Structure 1
Amino acid sequence: MVKTQDIQIRDPFIFPDQKSGNYYLFGSTDKNIWGKGTGFDVYVSPDLDNWEGPYPVFRPEEDFYSEENFWAPEVHEYKGKYYMFATFLRKDNGCRGTGVLVSNQLMGPFKPHSTSPLTPENWYSLDGTLFIDKNGKPWLVFCHEWVQVSDGQICAVQLQDNLVDVIGDPIILFRASEARWPTSFQHKRFPGRNNYVTDGPFVITLPNGELGMLWASFINNVYAQGISRSRTGTIQGPWEHDSEAIYQNNGGHGMIFQTFEGDFKLTLHAPNDTPNERPLFLDIEINDNGRIKVMGESECKFNKR
């Protein structure tokens, strides 16, 4: 057994499995996530505190389209199978993108489902997540990286029902600078340019029918987690933004899940420093009006104007 505080992981994603009564913790598990990737592992726990693992769930074959930057895996159950959406650095052109893997079971092995990343070939993209709209249509929501566009974007593109390819071109949902809480920064690779980060989008449907989106950026060079919302309940928006981040303690890339007892939790990694990053599980409250309270941190109102 390993304790939560002893797990080095970035971009944590929890799959609560009702069938087994266990929580499956996926994430960026390579010790050196900035270099050559070895794959993805999973940890399994009945209580979010004591974990078994790590167990390998994906190891790439030699002909796989990436060998670096294996980041931010999310696992979603869809039409009887388990699909992993993850970021990979392409071998052919050095751009990052989100690809899809598939398995018949949560423990893998996961195998390539898409023949290449589904994000645009020449875009630097990352942190794709699956969202199923009210009509049952699948969407890929992802970030168009600041390294390419300066002002990081959150984008969406509709997927084919079999999740093998996209339908049409991506649409820009919003840019990081449109929210009040992120701050710009300078980078030596891009002298004189103001940059804004978008990381880790995750979309939930609120009790009042609106959509809430978690996403991460930086406040004065400190990693932070904020929330935007679509009052129309559609992924196309328009999207509005809370004025303050809900987590500002050098952590982010979060997602929300429900425990077996029916409580809601936010998980993210903190601090944002390798090799010290650990998964955090924060209690939250969501009321019928779409209002969220992060216990012990701060309060966020999805319907705040």
Structure 2
Amino acid sequence: MQLPDMPLHDPFVVADDRTRTYYLYTSNDPTVSGVDGVGTMVYRGHDLRDWTRPVVVFLTAEQNGIWAADGGWAPEVHQYGDRYYLFTTLHDQDKPLPVPPADQWGTPFQIANHMRGTITAVSDSLLGPFTVVDPSRPTPPANLMTLDGTLHVDESGQPWMVYAHEWLQTIDGTMEAIRLAPDLSGTIGDPVFLFKASDAPWLGEQIPGGVPHQLAPYITDGPQLYRTPDGSLLMLWSTYEKNVAGEDGSISGGYVQTYAVSKSGAVEGPWQQRRPLVREDSGHGMLFHTFDGHLMMILHRPFENARGKLYEMEFHGDELRVLRRRADLDGGG
């Protein structure tokens, strides 16, 4: 299989040096994997061009007593110690959460939101099977509507989950972090606020003065942490760029891949927002190194019926730049 033929939303790559194999994780698609159910599947390859048919490594139906069985979004796998940890986002529409006040933005605003959050599962193998650590709840606080949790281990060795707090509950979506127990079995303390989507100053550049911004909620999505060569901490994240689409002043916008930098090197920040890296309805990217040492970013495009797209990247200090699009590997488009 090759990338143009592979359904691939929220792609995540593990480059396994021991076997010189790339593991490419995404939500289970039964039409490709041949296995029904909500969960995670993984493609494997050695050159980023040709991939095996995927195998399923996690299914919610196999987790006894799990709090939710829908979703399976944004799976990613991290080695931590001598084991592998899967993070993926689940939700249950039958478990409602409080909605924000109707007058928070001065206008009626009612959105029915529900339990959503990232679970942690563990395995001894990159091929699973992965078993959920705590089937009774998501890893972030259960009263928050969250998604896309990722692992960050700070310079002191403290593990964190960094996640997006849904705009459906906050209107202006946020990035937050919470400390994890040393064995990733639970959380420690309260969430730490990192930044809100509207902190990106370029988001409203195409919206003229006087247009009510509450018509276009600010969305946070897909955090991924990476240590830069100069010791800063970089966070890839995605959102929707806004522009006025209609004569009635209606607002629309495309999915974009952007990033922020914590020059202190700490996950707590402060975070400085940078310009988008890729537009064209693209996003939820992550960085990895190829076996020959190139820094690569993989993301998906378009948002619907997504396929994986590859870019060679480089750093200039704490600035991340696109060197070139690898259409030779991802088939163009």
> TM-score under structure 1 normalisation?
0.88
Residues 3-42 of structure 1: CA deviation (Å, up to 9, x unaligned): 111101100000000111100000223369xxx9521100
Alpha-carbon distance change, 46 to 223 in structure 1, aligned in 2, over 3 angstroms:
same
Query: Any idea what SS the aligned residue of 2:198 has?
Result: helix
CA–CA separation in structure 1 for the residues paired with 2:30 and 2:240: 23
Match of 2:75 in 1: 73
- Conserved? CA contact 1:18–1:260, under 8 Å: yes
Matched, 1:107 2:109: no
Match of 1:51 in 2: 51
Match of 2:295 among 264, 267, 270: 264
Choose between structure 1 and 2: higher strand proportion. Answer: 1
Match of 1:171 in 2: 192
Query: Any idea what SS the aligned residue of 1:157 has?
Result: strand
Query: Any idea what SS the aligned residue of 1:214 has?
Result: strand
CA–CA separation in structure 1 for the residues paired with 2:133 and 2:13: 21
- TM-aligned CA deviation for residue 291 of structure 1: 2.9
Alpha-carbon distance change, 37 to 201 in structure 1, aligned in 2, over 3 angstroms:
farther
Matched, 1:285 2:314: yes
Alpha-carbon distance change, 23 to 194 in structure 1, aligned in 2, over 3 angstroms:
same
Query: Any idea what SS the aligned residue of 2:4 has?
Result: helix
- Conserved? CA contact 1:153–1:175, under 8 Å: yes
**One-letter amino acid matched to 1:264:** L
**One-letter amino acid matched to 2:40:** F
**One-letter amino acid matched to 1:68:** D
**One-letter amino acid matched to 1:24:** Y
CA–CA separation in structure 2 for the residues paired with 1:31 and 1:173: 37
How many matched pairs?
A: 284
1:288-303 maps to which residues of 2 (within 5 A)?
Answer: 289-296=317-324
Match of 2:249 in 1: none
Over aligned residue pairs, what C-alpha RMSD do you find?
2.0
**One-letter amino acid matched to 1:51:** W
CA–CA separation in structure 1 for the residues paired with 2:4 and 2:283: 16
Query: Any idea what SS the aligned residue of 1:126 has?
Result: strand
Match of 1:229 among 235, 246, 261: 261
1:57-136 maps to which residues of 2 (within 5 A)?
Answer: 57-60=57-60, 61=62, 63-90=65-92, 92-93=95-96, 94-115=114-135, 116-136=137-157
1:103-252 maps to which residues of 2 (within 5 A)?
Answer: 103-115=123-135, 116-183=137-204, 193-220=215-242, 221-242=253-274, 244-252=275-283
- Conserved? CA contact 2:28–2:37, under 8 Å: no
- Conserved? CA contact 1:131–1:141, under 8 Å: yes
CA–CA separation in structure 1 for the residues paired with 2:45 and 2:214: 47
Alpha-carbon distance change, 179 to 192 in structure 1, aligned in 2, over 3 angstroms:
closer
**One-letter amino acid matched to 1:284:** M
Match of 1:300 in 2: none
Structure 2 stretches lacking a partner, 5+ long: 97-113, 208-212, 243-252, 326-333
Query: Any idea what SS the aligned residue of 2:286 has?
Result: strand
- Conserved? CA contact 2:37–2:59, under 8 Å: no
**One-letter amino acid matched to 1:278:** R
Query: Any idea what SS the aligned residue of 1:52 has?
Result: coil
CA–CA separation in structure 2 for the residues paired with 1:256 and 1:38: 26
Query: Any idea what SS the aligned residue of 1:195 has?
Result: coil
**One-letter amino acid matched to 2:87:** F
CA–CA separation in structure 1 for the residues paired with 2:310 and 2:4: 11
- Conserved? CA contact 2:232–2:263, under 8 Å: yes
CA–CA separation in structure 2 for the residues paired with 1:192 and 1:45: 44
Structure 1 stretches lacking a partner, 5+ long: 186-190, 298-305
Match of 2:3 in 1: 4
